[in-house]
Amino acid sequence: MKKEIKSFFKNHPSLKIKTKELAKTLSIVDAYVYAELKHSLHSLVDEGFLEKQGKRFSLCKFGTDKLIGQLQLIGEGDYGFVVLKNSDVKTDIFIAGKNLSTAFHGDEVEVTIIAKKYGKNIEGQVINVVDRANKDFVGVLKKSGSFYFLIPDNKKIHRDIYISKKFLNNAKIGDKVVVSNIQWKSPELNPEGEVKEVLGRAGSYDAEIASIALEFGLSYKFPKEVIKSAESFNEEIPSSEINNRIDLRDKIVITIDPEDAKDFDDAVSIEELENGNLSLGIHIADVSHYVTENSPIYNEAINRSTSVYLVGKVIPMLPEKLSNIICSLVPGKDRLTYSVIVEINTDAKIINYKIEKSIINSKRRFTYDEVQKIIETGEGEFVSTIKKLFETSQKLRAKRIKKGSINFFSPEVVFKLDKNGKPIDIKIKQIRESHNLIEELMLLANQIVAGHIKLESSNKSAPFVYRVHDLPDKEKITEFSRFVKSLGYSFDTNAANKPRQFQHILEQVKGTEEEAVINEVAIRSMAKAVYSTNNIGHYGLAFKKYTHFTSPIRRFPDLVVHQLIYDFNNKREKNLSIEELEEICNHASMQERNAINAERLSVKLKQIEYLKGKVGNIFHGIVSGITNFGIFIELSENLAEGMIRFRDLEDDYYIFDEKNYSVTGKRTGRRIRLGDKVEVKLIYVDEEKREIDFLLLDN
């Protein structure tokens, strides 16, 4: 019967028909056969082949479509969802573990629908792997009996990979290795591969760094031709080049960076003008002078798109000869720069500006701590310059916040490592006024550059690279409002399209116990900032136009913006089309996400390594997340996150309340909410599984 019904609807794909009408069309008169028809129709609705509207049945709009998307596995790969592309289906497709076929996390797959029930996810199964997301897998080489296999570091890679002895490539048991040439013929069998590279012994610092990079598809070695090209540069600047720039070498220009910084891509200056206004200079390393289009370094920089800051190790976008020497604005050295020079009055109002290629000679390399001390004491080198810079930055900050710009509080940790890269201490990074000083000046420069082409160009659609931030998702805003209400605060969802509404709630909670968790949930409610040629503004900063110009040593979009500004200022024909720019934007946004995820994993692994020897210790923490299987706890002293599993809560049976971000004991009525302060005991640390478990103490 089902076969006959399917054939009918495939031949009449746009028809909507009642059961009685279909029975008449199929010449069904027997009551038993009619009952079978009704049952088959409803069964095909459940399977997703048909859909029902009122009393009429029709072919499901995706019943015959070729559905293709990216597989995203959850947890350790027990199940996942396929995020579809170029489809009328606006929901993700649920894939049970048994229906994954030979697909890995991240693969582009073709799926077919197997079930669609009202109020539930559409369920499908993978029928074909269109494209592998990863050609290489990283993990630890193990042996069981006579079989060698890879246990992948990425726990979303849900199957071990078998390796024949002849493909070990001299790898030893316990080595961290890269496996490639993956062959996976059947889900009943494990995938097979070959050892491509031995990274070192599992647990060694260099091997773990390489492993993290490879897990997120990040390049950690430069090709030989790129290194060779970088080594060809020297620090000497021809007089012909100097003559084509504004010469600022006699000006007091300084850099302010973290103590451990190696690449200095921004410097600042300030001086009083005869009319009483100030000339504020933001001077950025002119990387585009050295890294030219289609050169080996340029093409590698496109691929990387960003530097990656892992714990104790930087994976740079540019070779170190350029990033740390040739382009870096080190003190006492002539350096080529791109300067944004702004005339502002005493109220920090912009009178005029210019964006020009320049040459500087930094007079001093300051750390944030050194500048902070000068701000607090009024004593030190270049105190007058720093005082003017600080006062100006405060005025700029006040104006920005008044316009509705959101200042999120998102704490970070700093590690102290021994000579072998082992963590011996973790501190929470202090954000101070010296950090804000540089932040405001960079925001100003980026904003001015973003408006420059739009302001001057006769062609209003001149291609450009913007840093954009969309409005928050309405559903997430509703969830955020419900959450803050549960903590005693109010949030007007109708005004959420104005960033000032978020700013107001964050000011309310400043200094309270809930500050960190409300900030975190607010950040989760936001859209992700990305690069785009389509300027929709920057919601979080409350800027109509914004770009990235100030970090070309570590961000490729900044380098492209330098090129675009130079072409525009000199009325040169642009080499990149808007389509090429959009492709660069998309790739840079993706690589930025990969870098952020790699950096987070790097921090997490070092936190796990640090806590490994502290099992049994008691810590203070805050409830940072609640799920149907446990409670996430973030430790107050080092921000390490672990879980209290419900199976370890033996005092009661706890019921999960998703809407109110809480769990409640069925017998005792004890309620645990997101943001609650708790005392916990560390009971389990597993580096291989990347897990930390706590026990909740009765306090």
The band of 449, judged by pLDDT with boundaries at 50, 70 and 90, is very high
Domain match, 362 and 377 both: yes
Q: Residue 460 — pLDDT band, cuts 50, 70, 90?
A: low
One domain for residues 39 and 144:
no
Indicate whether 429 and 380 sit together in one domain: yes
Three-state secondary structure call for residue 180: strand
How confident is the model over 655-669, as a mean pLDDT? 88
- C-alpha torsion sign, points 206, 208, 214, 218: negative
Contacts of 260 (CB under 8 A, 6+ apart): none
Tens of pLDDT, residue by residue over 51-85, are: 888 889 887 765 555 689 999 998 888 899 998 87
Q: What is the pTM of this model?
A: 0.85
Same domain, yes or no: 142 and 127: no
Same-domain pairing of 55 and 86: no
Residue 176 has pLDDT above 90, yes or no: yes
- Look up the CATH number of the domain holding residue 634: 2.40.50.140
List pLDDT tens digits, range 392-414. Answer: 999 999 999 999 999 888 889 99
Question: Are residues 150 and 123 both part of a single domain?
Answer: no
pLDDT for the residue 64 = 53
pLDDT above 70 covers a percentage of the chain that reads 96
Does residue 489 belong to any structural domain of this protein?
A: no
Beta strand 147-152 with 161-163 is: antiparallel
Per-residue confidence (pLDDT) for residue 87, from 0 to 100: 64
Are residues 420 and 389 part of one domain?
yes
Q: Is residue 606 part of a domain?
A: no
CA dihedral of 505, 506, 507, 511, whole degrees rounded to 10: 120
What residue numbers bound the domain in which 683 lies?
615-696
Q: Is residue 509 part of a domain?
A: no
Q: Last residue of a domain, which of 79, 96, 131?
A: 131
At 270-329, the pLDDT tens digits run: 999 999 999 999 999 999 999 999 999 999 999 999 999 999 999 999 999 999 999 999
Asked if residue 90 and residue 29 are part of one domain, the reply reads no
Contacts of 505 (CB under 8 A, 6+ apart): 484, 489, 491, 518, 522
Does residue 82 belong to any structural domain of this protein? yes
Residue 464's pLDDT band (boundaries 50, 70, 90)?
very high
Quick one: 372 and 342 in the same domain? yes
Three-point CA angle 160, 165, 166, nearest 5°: 125
- Asked if residue 365 belongs to a domain, the reply is yes
The verdict on 160 and 282 lying in the same domain is: no
Q: What tens digit of pLDDT does each residue of 507-523 get?
A: 888 888 778 888 888 88
Band the pLDDT of 692: cuts 50, 70, 90.
Answer: very high
In a domain, 101, yes or no: yes
Average pLDDT (134-139) is: 91
Total domains present in the chain? 5
Q: Which of 15, 40, 59 is the last residue of a domain?
A: 59
Asked, for residue 495, whether it belongs to a domain, the answer is no
Reference 96, options 119, 113, 80; nearest CA is 80
Average pLDDT rounded to a whole number, residues 20-26: 90
Query: For the domain that residue 198 is a member of, what is the CATH number?
Result: 2.40.50.700
Last residue of a domain, one of 131, 160, 183: 131
Q: Among 531, 548, 547, 559, which Cα is nearest to 327's?
A: 559
Q: Is residue 482 assigned to a domain?
A: no
Q: Kindly state whether residues 125 and 144 are assigned to the same domain.
A: no
Asked if residue 328 and residue 193 are part of one domain, the reply reads no
Beta strand 56-59 pairing with 67-74: unpaired
